[in-house]
């Protein structure tokens, strides 16, 4: 299959790229490299540096003639969305609409959208949340993802297009930015490995569904392969882990002995989140395979290799030396 991946040079995108390459698909990547890195894309895969909100992306789609688009490019920081909701909407909503329009114009058959479970459901009345849980976003970012899903559904009603909105949990794993993009696992791991004090906002009892990036890449592959996959599909583990427990696990893996600081809670952040993924299992045979402890070990081991020698500290012997992501 010919597949165009937006955001394919980024954290999640690069793992999806590797997984789909392994399956033998012909791929093309569109990425503005605002957070992605060229070294994440093999030389054999065309990489177009382009903004999904610009007119140039339609020319790329016309030239490559993909059968499917996997749309991962996004402004995905909840805090950034509250500070600049107009920019968030421009990237996440207008960028998605432009891609959908181009997909219809150029005969794309399948459109897989990266959506958000926790941000879309908000403080859900039932945990873990199913796809039947009403969406109730608490941030502009969450609102933009719900809006994307509505546009996707409308385009699929009006045109011969199969649309899948994968509602990801909190994705973590190797290559996630530890400097403070999105992703508390990478932020905590990077800080503790460097001997810096990690910060928890609030009491630390808030819970998130942490799903390993290799499992997410497999979910994208399943969505492309199964024609029965349509509409919103949760991609998570079904387990909500408190932030304090997460910090303690990372502390043990990194050997960090310093304090963990607390600060005032951040506005517009969900208190508890976990995703019921039984629907994904039923319609496309997907379920999360990587236990949190295993995924954290892989993440910390990978991050250790990227730190400057001056600040890197040895990992405890419980972490396999040279452990890698299953997609690496």
- Surface-to-core class of residue 97, CB atoms within 10 Å of its CB (0-12 exposed, 13-18 middle, 19+ buried): middle
Beta strands 241-242 and 207-208: pairing type? Answer: antiparallel
| Contact present, 311 and 195 (Cβ < 8 Å) | yes
Q: Which residues, in sequence order, are bridge partners of residue 272?
A: 207
Residues with Cβ within 8 Å of residue 169, at least 6 apart in sequence:
117, 118, 208, 209, 210, 211, 234, 235, 236, 237, 273, 274, 275
Burial class (CB within 10 angstroms; exposed 0-12, middle 13-18, buried 19+) of 46:
middle
Count CA within 13 A, CB hemisphere, residue 35. 22
Number of CB atoms found within 10 A of residue 144's CB: 28
* Residue of 141, 172, 210, 256 marked catalytic: 141
Tell me the Ramachandran region of residue 322: left when phi exceeds 0, alpha when psi lies from -120 to 50, beta otherwise.
left
Judge whether 256 counts as a catalytic residue: no
Distance CA 130, CA 134 (A): 9
Active site residues: 141
């Amino acid at each position: 299959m010919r597949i165009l991946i937006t955001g394919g040079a980024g954290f999640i995108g690069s793992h999806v790229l590797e997984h789909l390459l392994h399956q033998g698909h012909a791929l093309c990547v569109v990425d503005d490299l605002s957070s992605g890195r060229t070294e994440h894309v093999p030389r054999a895969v065309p990489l177009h540096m382009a903004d999904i909100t610009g007119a140039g992306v339609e020319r790329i789609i016309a030239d490559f003639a993909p059968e499917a688009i996997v749309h991962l490019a996004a402004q995905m920081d909840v805090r950034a969305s509250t500070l600049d909701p107009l920019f968030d909407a421009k990237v996440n909503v207008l960028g998605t609409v432009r891609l959908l329009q181009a997909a219809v114009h150029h005969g794309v058959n399948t459109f897989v959208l990266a959506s958000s479970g926790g941000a879309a459901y908000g403080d859900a009345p039932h945990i873990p949340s199913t796809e039947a849980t009403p969406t109730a976003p608490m941030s502009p970012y969450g609102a933009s993802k719900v809006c994307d899903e509505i546009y996707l559904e409308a385009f699929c009603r009006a045109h011969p297009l199969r649309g899948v909105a994968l509602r990801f949990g909190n994705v973590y794993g190797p290559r996630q930015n530890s400097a403070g993009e999105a992703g508390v696992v990478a932020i905590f791991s990077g800080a503790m490995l460097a001997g810096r004090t990690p910060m928890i906002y609030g009491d630390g009892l808030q819970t998130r569904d942490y799903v390993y990036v290799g499992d997410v890449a497999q979910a994208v592959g399943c969505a492309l392969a199964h024609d029965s996959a349509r509409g919103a599909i949760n991609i998570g583990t079904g387990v909500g882990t408190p932030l304090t427990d997460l910090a303690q696990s990372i502390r043990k893996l990194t050997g960090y002995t310093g304090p963990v600081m607390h600060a005032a809670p951040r506005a517009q952040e969900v208190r508890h989140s976990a995703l019921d993924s039984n629907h994904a299992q039923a319609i496309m045979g997907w379920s999360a395979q990587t236990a949190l402890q295993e995924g954290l070990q892989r993440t910390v081991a990978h991050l250790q290799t990227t730190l400057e020698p001056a600040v890197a500290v040895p990992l405890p012997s419980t972490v396999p030396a040279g452990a890698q992501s299953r997609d690496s």
